Amino acid sequence: MQNVLITGAKGQLGKDGLGVFKEVPGITGIDLPEVDLSDRFACFEFLNRLKPEVIINCAAYTAVDACESDPSCWKANAELPEHLAEWVENNHAFLVHVSTDYVFSGNKPLYEASVETDLPEPVSEYGKSKRAGEQAIAEQTDRFAILRTAWLYGANGNNFLKTMLRLTLQNPKKKLKVVNDQYGSPTWSYTLARQIRVVAEQQATGFFHATSEGYCSWYDLACTFLEELGVEHHFVPCGSEAFPTPTKRPANSILENKNLKEREMNLFRSWEEELSEYVAQQGEKILKEIRAL
């Protein structure tokens, strides 16, 4: 594999992707403001110059609540992947695209996981725009893999874990409420980047759920993270109604990596093991980063 392009290269997943693909000849990262890939002309001009063999699309409009009132999320989440897929089809390249648990309604009975053959029924603008991106790709080309992930955390940028650590360090004795009625599969962006590499190398096509094994609530996740880090906390479980948001959060975001397992490609371990390794590798750096805020 050579000439790999990673879009959204300054984002949480994109940065890990650049690390995982770093020794691949002709690896390139691109992000805003260099090229707005949702602009079809700018996108094609850039791709025609670069001629990537594989495109890993990590670019997206990921501010879930902002999507409710900002229709421009459709450009990044639906139009951008469509342009990439059109170019891939016309140039015999391969597209790995990253999607989300939000393409599902989240209304499955607890703790039943969604598999790739379940019918997507997005309820939020973010979910609808991401689903439109998936459909646009599948209409343009067969040369694609779509990996749906959820509850991402990584070394770069902000995430739920860093927020909970910051709030705890800023208020060491305060009881902090954490939502305990939404369930999902927390996923380390570094492992997802490694999984993307395996899929890209094999040019495995179709839809793949790509999250850690098992599930937990946000409360479980926050407690486990701080305990792994050795930081005392006073988290208190609460219901979603304590944190009203413009987008209703899915109660059940649990995904099952059925296709990856059937094709013997699944790299993910349990969310507890993944989190433990994340803390072992990144814990000191994250503590330093959050203490410096």
Ligand X SMILES: NC(=O)c1ccc[n+]([C@@H]2O[C@H](COP(=O)([O-])OP(=O)(O)OC[C@H]3O[C@@H](n4cnc5c(N)ncnc54)[C@H](OP(=O)(O)O)[C@@H]3O)[C@@H](O)[C@H]2O)c1
- Residue 87, interface with ligand X (CB under 6 A)? no
26, 157, 214, 237: residue in contact with ligand X (rule CB under 6 A): 157
Does the annotation count 126 as an active-site position? yes
Give the CA distances from residue 124 to residues 88, 93, 179, 242, 248, in Å, rounded to whole numbers and listed in that order: 29, 32, 19, 20, 7
- Residue 96, interface with ligand X (CB under 6 A)? no
- Residue 80, interface with ligand X (CB under 6 A)? yes
Give the CA distances from residue 111 to residues 160, 219, 273, in Å, rounded to whole numbers and listed in that order: 21, 16, 20
Stretch of residues binding ligand X (CB under 6 A), selected from 2-10, 111-119, 219-227, 240-248: 2-10
Map residue 244 onto helix, strand or coil.
coil
- Residue 5, interface with ligand X (CB under 6 A)? no
Distance from CA of residue 5 to its chain's centroid?
17
Instruction: Dig out the tokens for 80 from the structure.
Output: 């951008």
**Beta strand pairing status for 216-217 and 183-184?**
antiparallel
- Residue 167, interface with ligand X (CB under 6 A)? no
Site string for ligand X, 106-145 (x = CB under 6 A): ------------------------x---------------
For residues 66 and 260, what is the distance between their CA atoms, to the nearest angstrom? 32
Nearest to 240 by CA among 175, 161, 180, 174: 180
For residues 176 and 232, what is the distance between their CA atoms, to the nearest angstrom? 12
- Residue 178, interface with ligand X (CB under 6 A)? no
- Residue 195, interface with ligand X (CB under 6 A)? no
- Residue 11, interface with ligand X (CB under 6 A)? yes
Q: How far is the CB of 292 from ligand X (least distance, A)?
A: 20
Place of tokens 């639906």: 78
62, 105, 185, 191: residue in contact with ligand X (rule CB under 6 A): 62
State the catalytic residues: 126
- Residues forming contacts to ligand X in the complex (CB under 6 A) are 7-8, 10-14, 31-32, 36-38, 58-62, 76, 80, 98, 100, 130, 149-152, 157
